[in-house]
Amino acid sequence: MHSFLYSPKGLLAALVGEAASSFSPVLLMFTFAVVATGPALILSRMIAPRRTPSPVKFLPMESGQVPSGEGRTHFMMQYYSYVLMFVVFDVMSIFLYAWGSSVLSLPKAATLPIIAFLAVMFAAFAFALYQSGRKNIW
């Protein structure tokens, strides 16, 4: 057996070495990304054509036409409640999948927090259903 593992300094060095070796592919990819990005940006700056911008280029255009009217449009609120229900269901499904995949190894007391979570989520779902039943959401 290795004798340096039994000294506190040797054990720390061994653990740091293990952690560094497990992160070496990530560090290698990060280094490659940094090294490859620099020359790519410099090369694109050197090759790009240099033109003096005309003032017409900075005007707002809609398909080549000068825009007319107001820039902001009326947002249809009829789908607001469905968007709320989707977000609630999406968050609920993510957490239920994580809980359900490990439910057999969890203690029985771990069901109480998920029941509280479901109560909050169903309250939000009920609020979204209430909003969908209202005629004048705006």
> What digits encode the pLDDT tens for the residues 52-107?
778 777 777 767 677 777 766 666 677 777 787 888 888 888 988 988 888 888 88
pTM across the whole model:
0.40
CB-based contacts of 28: which residues, under 8 Å, 6+ apart?
none
Give the number of domains in the chain.
Answer: 2
For residues 38 and 84, membership in a common domain is answered with no
For residues 81 and 127, membership in a common domain is answered with yes
Looking at the domain assignment, is residue 61 inside a domain?
A: no
Residues spanned by the domain of 25: 3-47
For residues 82 and 123, membership in a common domain is answered with yes
pLDDT at 138: 41
For residues 85 and 37, membership in a common domain is answered with no
Predicted confidence (pLDDT) per residue in 12-52, tens digit: 556 566 666 677 778 888 989 999 999 999 999 889 888 77
The H-or-E segment that residue 48 falls in is: none
